[in-house]
Structure 1
Amino acid sequence: MPEQRVAKATFYDAELLAALEEAEEQHGSMADALRYAVAKTYVDGSEEDGDEPDTGLPVKAHEGHRKLMEWAGYRGRLELGTAESVLANHLNVQKEAVRKTVIEPLRKEDAIRIHQGIHTVSIIVGTLEGDEPEPRDSTSTSTEAATDGGEARERLDELANAEVGR
């Protein structure tokens, strides 16, 4: 395991502090923002694994895109709520922060699209610049969005349609 070290710093400059707070929002945590800045500045301008294209996207957005590709595949669909839960768990960020740190940056880069249906909002997964899409399984022809099961929705529908016997 590589050597670990904790670093602490106090910021007195308001401009630097504002920049740090903005980076914290983009990366999901202050620690990730600082790691990213050090890697970009001092480690030959690359991330730890060295395979990130320099698109200006936060690290969390890159990781989130990889997870979306894993879950839905290229041009696959995921319900927005399901995607937020999956990304929050995988990236270890609050679910409320996923839209700002992952979904919005990916949408601005056209790596994902948001589809507003009648009953659901879903994400359509695309590619990031420099990524090659993996071919999807040709046996899967479903255009339905991936969900987290829907058992609760089915049970609510069943209860709503039940007759009340008094």
Structure 2
Amino acid sequence: MRSIAGIFSVLLILGPFLAFAKEVPHLTDPVFGLKYDPAHVKFDEAPTSLMTRCPNLANDRWDNRLWIYGQQDEAGTQYLIVGGLYVEKATGRSKPNPIGAIIAVTPEKCDLVGPARETLQAPTDLPADMAPHLIDDLVRRYRTAFGGAPALNAALKAQHVDLTSHYDDTLRAALAK
């Protein structure tokens, strides 16, 4: 009986920490579809103020916890590739958001440009030549987060990421640099 009480006491003490450890599940990046553990693969987390500035990234049921996968500034507008987790407002439970978004942020407003990969594949809603610059920054960030180009390439290969579509020419070229 005494050992059961001891185990129960330890679980009561560690319970909140164990629950928190489960809070952030593996994430899926919004461009390649790579699944990764954010405890080991580190992208920059978006500031919480971004959700205030970009209310169209949430709805009555869900908020987002966002990471930045790419960024480019042009003429006073900051273009961000973001993705991460949907966080249910009522329960705090979270689930990966595999689609992500490209957003355009100015001092006055925040516009949702479109889904991350889709928009990079057909960048008609981005300024001319913005997509290649975003992709170059994205590849730089991914290499840093995964621990270098060989580790990123190994993750892409291990997870069978298919970049053979003609829409992925710019992504392939950036990865080959």
- Bucket of the pairwise TM-score, normalised by the shorter protein: under 0.3
Q: Which protein is bigger by CA-based radius of gyration?
A: 1
Which structure has greater strand proportion? 2
Which structure has greater helix proportion? 1
TM norm structure 1: 0.25
